[in-house]
Structure 1
Amino acid sequence: MSTFSAHRRARLIASSAILFIGATSIAACSSSAKDSSTSQGSAASSSGEQTVTVLAYDSFDFPQELLDKFREQTGITVKIQAIGNGGELANQLVLTKDAPLGDAVFGLDNTVSTRIVGQGVIADASITSPNSADNFAGEPGLVPIDRGDVCVNYDKTWFKEHQLTPPASFEDLAKPEYKNMLVAMNPASSTPGMAFMLATIAKYGPDGYANYWKSLKDNGVKITEGWSQAFNVDYSAGEGKGSFPMMVSYGSSPAYAVNDAGTESSTGVITDTCFRQIEYAGVLTGAKNAEGAKKFIEFLLSDEVQSAISKATYMHPYAGKAPEALEKFGPLAENPARVDPQEIQKNSANWLKTWQETVLG
């Protein structure tokens, strides 16, 4: 079995960090980030060279050769400023909207982007969207860059050894024969956890998802604070070789569990449970180099760069080519769950409260 790439492991762990943090912690982080990026946010350096600062989640590792190519094409130097996980990134954008820390942002997804709606954070830079169907409602300046799915994964080897047919649906997960087999994440502290909760809302509605979660609880679902704990401790195919043969993870996971011959993966995906995750980029309102930021986002949408981003993050591009293993073993779900971002914005606090009362007691 192949191991997770360093890029993807880092991204998964980062996405499992705390989403909802206290105001004091946010302010402290804001101050630190601002101190480290003050010299980067200007449109021109002391030598007169143009720069663009792109705010991103911690594990976004953009290939240096492509940054060099962009500089050759435009004369603009791009500096990537890591802020935190996706939730922290969204929080920072709101806190610093009157004095933005950079010129552009990359990596906001559709589970956290609702936090910036109506805050005046993103400028409408009139960038052509690669897929208007995936535009973010309420923020026309956010452009979709890549996409993937959060789904329940299962350990094929475990099910084969126990001569048990893997579940195929949400309903199956609550059946007695799958008792004490699933580990999921707290949606208040994990973006995969949030995506999975939203998938159950899409499936059963705001009035029915709590009853579904009660059935999962009665069937022995384990809840962790983040993805890394589930994978490193509880999941039978994870680092800790735990006792749970299923976990909430990513639709791309089978691409990392392919045998040496490249013919079969030891990880399966329950496609009925998949929630479509979309990552966006945008020009920040008040950017010191808004035109340069727009050029960089347009650069992100070119075929070559789309392919490179897909290789680094194992998210599916809108243009260019995904890695062969991702296309073969981790394709996008045909009918993923979706929830209107405006509904997430209006209801997420109540949905989370109901989930916590139902599952955590």
Structure 2
Amino acid sequence: MRRRSFLLSAGAGAAALAGCLGDDGGETTETTDGDGAGGANATDGPTTGEGTTSGTTTGTAASVSGTLVVATYPTWVEGDSPAGTWVKEAFESEYDATVEYTTPDSRFSYFIRRAAQGAPIDADVYLGLNVDELIDLDEKAGGDVLSPLSVDAPVKEGLQFDPQGRAVPYDTGYISLVYDETTVEAPATFDDLLTEEYRGDLLAQNAQSSATGRAFMLHTVKAKGEDGYLDYWQQLQDNDVRILGNWSDSYTAYENGEAPMVVSYSTDQVYAHQAGADLSRHQVGFLNDQAYAQPEGVARFADSEQQELAQAFVEFLLTPEAQGEIAQRNVQYPATTNAELPEEFSKYTFEPEEPVTFTYEELKGNVDEWVDQWARQIAQG
């Protein structure tokens, strides 16, 4: 998500904004985004030995040590100043440990397939897990692939998405509207988008092939109910909403002036400010004063021989300093309430009055059906 860098150079393209929670990480197994850092979980990937980066920096002696293999998505380790590089160097400076990153092409789906086949899991930790993937794992491979984690950190209320405590949130994004205030006024409600004033103004993404599109669709289920969301989407289509394959496609179309509104992230102005863009074209709007929260989690594989080191790594990710660095470099919100963030970050980020999301229990057994129904009636209708 599933993806972005805080330290973007001026003139950076739209793909740079597709950060860790966008369409290049955290996708479900049915999504096939191609937004730079990718969300192509539907395709089979290489073994985790491919795409691995490692280091040998040794820090202070600690009660745990060794090599920790962390599987993740590409933008965690790519870009001008990725979160992964900072985390690796800072963690290694505190522990007698080496962090090795690996980025399998099919993301977490690679491990779901291996677990379902009874094959060895060749990583200790997975970073970038979302609730859809967790449900997919439990349905296809059982609930003992990951081991529970115990953390003592002030994680924000509502972000915990694993009832068994195996996945711990480390950041989150909010799906919102980004709009050009020189062309349109922000719609206040979902119903406003159905009026003539906004005919043809909105760019959205396919809920089958985009994490961003799926989150927006799920928000409409929240707003209109599972008996009303398809009717709402039919009305959106009647009002000439344009649905593109993934976030990158839609955001590029937006930047090219093809429409004055796009479904994107409430941290959009961080990218726009760093890129020297006109902020009037990067205003953030919340429908019904809400936004759909997309927490991203880290989990420990049960078969790992580095259980204590993995636990220490997760605890490190949730420290105030690490939370601040991850939020800035991923251009997402921290998962905890005590992150150390510069004043500039809050100046260009926006949180909704009411974050909304579905729980694991609410999505299990429902999300695939909701998406399939949406695809049959809207994407293929």
Mark yes or no: TM-score above 0.5: yes
C-alpha displacement of 1:285: 1.2
Does residue 252 (structure 1) correspond to residue 273 (structure 2)? The answer is no
How many residues of Structure 1 are paired with residues of Structure 2 in the alignment?
A: 337
Residue ranges of structure 2 left out of the alignment (5+ in a row): 1-8, 33-39, 55-64, 78-82
* Letter of the structure 2 residue corresponding to residue 135 of structure 1: Q
Map residues 108-147 of structure 1 onto 2, 5 A cutoff. Answer: 108-117=129-138, 118-131=142-155, 133-147=158-172
Quick check: 1:29 aligned with 2:44? yes
| AA matched with 2:95 | T
1:265-307: CA deviations, max 9, x gaps?
5312221251011011111110121111111111111111111
Q: Give secondary structure in 1 for the equivalent of 2:75.
A: coil
**Map of 2:247 onto structure 1:** 227
Equivalent position amino acid for 1:322 in 2: L
- In proportion to residue count, which structure has more helix? 1
Q: 1:221 to 1:263 in 2, by over 3 A?
A: closer
Match of 1:218 in 2: 238
Q: 1:162 aligns to what? A: none
Ranges in structure 1 where 5+ consecutive residues have no aligned partner? 41-48, 160-164
Tell me the C-alpha RMSD between the 2 structures. 3.1
Instruction: Give the AA of the match of 1:246.
Output: M
Q: What are the residue-to-residue correspondences of 1:170-319 with 2, within 5 Å?
A: 170-232=190-252, 234-235=253-254, 238=255, 241-258=256-273, 266-272=281-287, 274-317=291-334, 318=336, 319=338
- Find out whether 1:344 has 2:359 as its counterpart: no
8 Å CA contact retained: 1:183, 1:230: yes
Q: Which whole-Å CA distance do the structure 1 matches of 2:367 and 2:96 have between them? A: 43
TM-score, scaled to structure 2: 0.79
Which among 115, 120, 123 is matched to residue 102 of structure 1? 123
Q: Quote the Cα distance in structure 1 between the aligned partners of 2:277 and 2:261.
A: 23
Q: In the alignment, is residue 91 of structure 1 matched against residue 109 of structure 2?
A: yes
- CA distance in 2: counterparts of 1:260 and 1:28, whole angstroms: 33
Partner residue of 1:43?
none
Q: Structure 2: how far apart are the matches of 1:260 and 1:35? A: 35
The 3-state SS of whatever aligns with 2:325 is helix
Q: Deviations over 1:79-117 (max 9, x none)?
A: 111124xxx423222122341121011111234332223
Residue 169 of structure 1 contacts residue 270 of structure 1 at CA under 8 Å; is this kept in 2? no
Which range moves more in the overlay, 58-67 or 280-289? 58-67
Question: Taking structure 1 as the reference length, what is the TM-score of the superposition?
Answer: 0.83
**Contact 1:2 1:256 (8 Å CA) reproduced:** no
Once the two structures are TM-superposed, the CA of residue 172 in structure 1 deviates from its matched residue by: 0.7
Larger mean Cα displacement after TM superposition, 110-119 or 9-18:
9-18
